[in-house]
A and B are shown apart, each in its own frame.
Chain A
Amino acid sequence: MKLLRIAMLGMLVLGGTVVAGAAEEPTTAPSAQAAPVSLEQALKDLASEDAAVQDAAVQLLIARGDAGLLPKLEAMRADGDRSLRMAIKPVMDLLKNKTKLASSEAEDRRSAAADMATLGHPIVLVWLEAARPMEQDRWVRYTIEESIGLIKLASDDPAVKAAAATKLGELHSQNAVPALKELAGPAAIPGQEPAIGSGAGEPSPEQALVAKAAREAIERIETWGSWTSAIETLFRGISLSSVLLLMALGLAIIFGLMGVINMAHGEFMMLGAYATFLTQEGFKALLPPGLFDYYFLLALPCSFLAAGLFGLLLEASLIRFLYGRPLETLLATWGVSLILIQGARVVFGDLTSVVAPSWLSGGMQVMVGVQLPYNRLFIIALASVCVLGIYFLLFRTGVGLKVRAVMQNRNMSACLAIPTRKVDAYTFAFGSGLAGLAGCALTLIGNVEPGLGQNYIVDSFMVVVTGGVGKLAGTIVASLGIGGLNKLLEPSFGAVYGKVFILVLVVLFLQWRPSGLFTIKGRHVES
């Protein structure tokens, strides 16, 4: 029996020409007359009581069937008994994947190729081998090769096994590690398949060869794996930093430059997130569906303006009366934040989900085992653009000069005919707008809900304070440091203790340098 299966497999490996022959001679069918002749007959045979007839029908359907059969099978499954359902399931799985493998979407082809590795039916090898030379997409081809390797790894021929192990090692396939470990491990070699080995104890030379190939492959994969995890950790650190930076930039301007403790900063983010939601709903309602993917580009300025305008309003109606009274500002803005949260709950309810545009979902595969999500890449880019924009605005324009002048010495600036009140208002509005922008970006990774801002406000303050109040460079360095450190610690400490550890480090750091990473040098009026 075993020999027969090896032979069968060998035949299958030879290539596509044997497809029909192989499948029409079902290996397990005991008698020739059990094999059905047509698909219709096979469909009927599926419900047969005789296991052999049923099995033959399954084999035929798998070999010859196509997507057209799926609805029929689905209907049969719906009102079939358990034995019928169990018989139909593999047929449906195989046919579905066969159809998907021929799909025009690379994503579908890839997931079909990945699924085929686990289906455990010899025919998929033929399909995969047939699909490999035609495949244009690099990563689909990679998955096809990986699946072929995985299937061959389960073959009974030691030579095929060893070759597959080596190939998988070359592919750096993480998916193969468990199977390879079984082959390489000392326990796996003797005794497991007593039918083949010469005796119970000693492994045959072929098996030793397989084990060696498997061990080499594992080593290769693991070396590669440590590289990829280093790269991934780095990317995650940068990504978390960019999120922190986006959130903290607005705060760095309002708190850092203006000295206003704005507890409603998180709620400005929430406003930005809701502005994004409204833009999305507007696109849904007013524009053709084809344009939907572009809503996010419009949502960015919308959220900036919405939060900025609200900031302007808040500054004019509340904050301006509280300049120089940090405690009152703190309480008042906290009250505003509570009002905004409950207001959002009343106005929007909880039916607010933002769907990321298709060009921001999924990820970019850069190398084996490393996939960088598009939304994260987008946020990194957005944060960089914001930083550049702020630097340009503050240090290269007349407005920026005035802002810096007012922040450094209000009275002197007023004497020099700078409209300090106006500058205050615009700066506050700009900082709020940045928070709105951050809120818009956050919809890509999280939820849109009234409490959104509360999740981020502490982190934002932590970044600004650690960086040094009043220095933008400090905020940037601090967000990179905190984000990077967080991601560095998290794999070993876990999310909860990682966060605790970061907080302890920040406290200790502030003990050592109370004014943060970067301090304003020289004589400062306020200090």
Chain B
Amino acid sequence: MAPISDDNKQPVESGDLPNVGESRRDFLVKSTRVAAGLGVAALLGDLGNWALSYAADKEPIKIGVLHSLSGTMAISEVSLRDVVLMAVEEINAKGGVMGRKIEPVVVDPASNWDLFAEKAKQLLLVDKVAVVFGCWTSVSRKSVLPVFEKNNGLLFYPVQYEGEECSHNVFYTGAAVNQQAVPAVEYLMSKEGGGFKKFYLLGTDYVYPRTTNKILRAMLLAKKVPAANIMEEYTPFHHQDYQTIVGKVKKFAAGGGAAVISTINGDSNVPFYKEFANQGLRAEDAPIMAFSVAEDELRGMDTTALVGHLAAWNYYQSVDTPQNKQFVANFKAYCKKHNLPDGEKRVTDDPIEAAYFGVHVWKQAVEKAGKTDVDAVRKAVYGQKFLAPGGEIKMDEANHHTHKPVLIGEILKDGQFKTVWRSKGLVKPEPWSEYTNPDKGCDWIGHQGTYQKKA
């Protein structure tokens, strides 16, 4: 099946055997016949197992893990690698997939977008993995997309993203815009959420914030929010000086009824929130609704300036379900057991959960299909359900995205979230927003991917 893996396998196994034999031979000389007999029996047992596993085509299934372990994105992506490996360990402990073990192949694309494509190619063509779990930033996903489409690979992408994509070779287990940003703003506009009327859309200057804000602006205008009440502003990556912008927000928010919608990424968040608090703005004056701040990012921040602000996700570590308690405890135990940095202090968050259930969804699909072949697995994923830590989720029947609940959370002092609002049931994913692309849809059953809806 996989010649390279066989080549790799055999020397390892056969290399083990003489060693074992040799040591036993030394042992024989010195010890009694009983001990020798036991040793030989064990050796035979080993051999037998080994031979059996090959005879029954039980060699492990290889999967790829494509997350940056160094460079700027490492801070976020290392946790996803950890949770994928944890899920693999869980599955293997319960006997693997169809009786076969899973063997993860971990590569490090080092936060370098070109390297992502290169490593994806390596995983698909050299390691011949059955599936890849990976990517965080949209730009890394865009860079591996052609590789997966050309070689008919399968990628599970676990992070919320801007939508407007509909690939045959990707399953999106994170949120589409209509499962995070849109409900979050609708919540802010509702009576319960505070009835906000003015919105300051603030983001880092790249594709996710720009597309998200484009959709939000269209939505706000459709909901009769006057254009004068919408501000849109972008900052470069790693922007540190938020004095002017916070000053603008302050003017904008004077008189009340204003909220900040933040798609600020990574290390710019701390200076932003600090400046916000230091200039005397409070969460009561103008709450910041963030789409890129989760528990994992909050670990490394001084949370005093963030308390009371909001975030929108599909899962929080604080979600109160029995399976989530188990999941959080397992993750902490896993990090401790494997001596990962920070061990038990590690937290779970939305992308971690999405990466975790992605592995399980794939496993269920493989078992349903009865083989690891990409085309068969893809069909089996459609409509697959899984009891994820945050509650049951469902893979869409046609559009490769995931039906998930939406949760608005308030940031607490300890870096956790308190859920203040929860969608009723699961929200159906819409890769093309009804506000910016009302005529487009994504369907791989009735149509071939992206199609024009008939009016």
Contacts and interface: CB of A to CB of B under 8 A. Distances in A.
Do A and B pair up? The answer is: yes
A111 interface: yes
B255 A179 contact: yes
A243 B241 contact: yes
B234 A445 contact: no
Contacts of B241: 240, 243, 445, 486
A257 B133 CA distance: 51
Contacts of B300: 350-353, 447-449
B345 A351 contact: yes
B10 to A, nearest CB: 35
Q: Which among B239, B256, B277 has the highest number of chain A CB atoms within 10 Å?
A: B256
B275 A495 contact: no
Interface string A95-121: 000000000000000010011011000
Contact of B267 (A175, A356, A455): A455
B304 A345 contact: no
Nearest to B251: A174
B280 A365 contact: yes
A281 interface: no
Contacts of A229: 247, 251
Contacts of B239: 495
Interface in B274-306: 274-275, 277-280, 282, 284-285, 299-305
A166 interface: no
Contacts of B282: 111
Given A350-B300, A371-B280, A447-B301, A342 B244 contact: no
Contacts of B302: 353-356
A167 interface: no
B203 to A, nearest CB: 11
A115 B284 contact: yes
A71 interface: no
User: Binding site of A, secondary structure by majority: helix, strand, loop or mixed?
Assistant: helix
A495 B255 contact: no
B3 interface: no
B256 A175 contact: yes
A451 B278 contact: no
Contacts, number: 126
A375 B284 contact: no
B254 interface: yes
Contacts of A495: 233-236, 239, 244-245
Interface residues of A, number: 56
A496 B267 contact: no
Contacts of A456: 240
Contacts of B243: 236, 239-240, 376, 487
A176 B255 CA distance: 6
Interface string B249-275: 001001111000000000100110011
Interface stretch (B12-20, B59-67, B70-78, B177-185): B70-78
Contacts of A355: 302, 304
Interface in A173-212: 174-179
B7 interface: no
A490 interface: yes
B368 to A, nearest CB: 38
Q: Which among B254, B255, B303 has the highest number of chain A CB atoms within 10 Å?
A: B255
B233 A494 contact: yes
Contacts of A176: 255
Contacts of B72: 451
A446 interface: yes
Contacts of A449: 75, 267, 300
Contacts of A342: 70
A455 B244 contact: no
B235 A496 contact: yes
B11 interface: no
B254 A494 contact: no
Interface in B70-103: 70, 72, 74-75
Given A174-B254, A350-B75, A491 B299 contact: no
Contacts of A356: 274, 302
A324 interface: no
Contacts of A232: 247
Contacts of A499: 236
A445 B285 contact: no
A29 to B, nearest CB: 23
A477 B144 CA distance: 47
A164 to B, nearest CB: 14
Interface in B312-352: 341-342, 345
Contacts of B304: 355, 361
B248 interface: yes
Given A363-B278, A376-B278, 10 more contacts: A178-B255, A229-B247, A353-B301, A365-B280, A373-B279, A374-B278, A447-B301, A494-B234, A495-B234, A496-B236
16 contacts: A236-B243, A236-B247, A350-B75, A351-B299, A351-B342, A351-B345, A361-B305, A363-B280, A446-B270, A447-B271, A449-B267, A451-B72, A487-B244, A490-B244, A495-B236, A495-B239
Interface of A: 111, 114-115, 117-118, 174-179, 225, 229, 232-233, 236, 239-240, 243, 342, 345, 349-356, 361-363, 365, 371, 373-376, 444-449, 451, 454-456, 486-487, 490-491, 494-496, 499
* Top 10 closest pairs, chain A to chain B, by CB: A373-B278, A178-B255, A174-B254, A349-B341, A447-B270, A495-B235, A236-B243, A353-B302, A350-B300, A490-B244
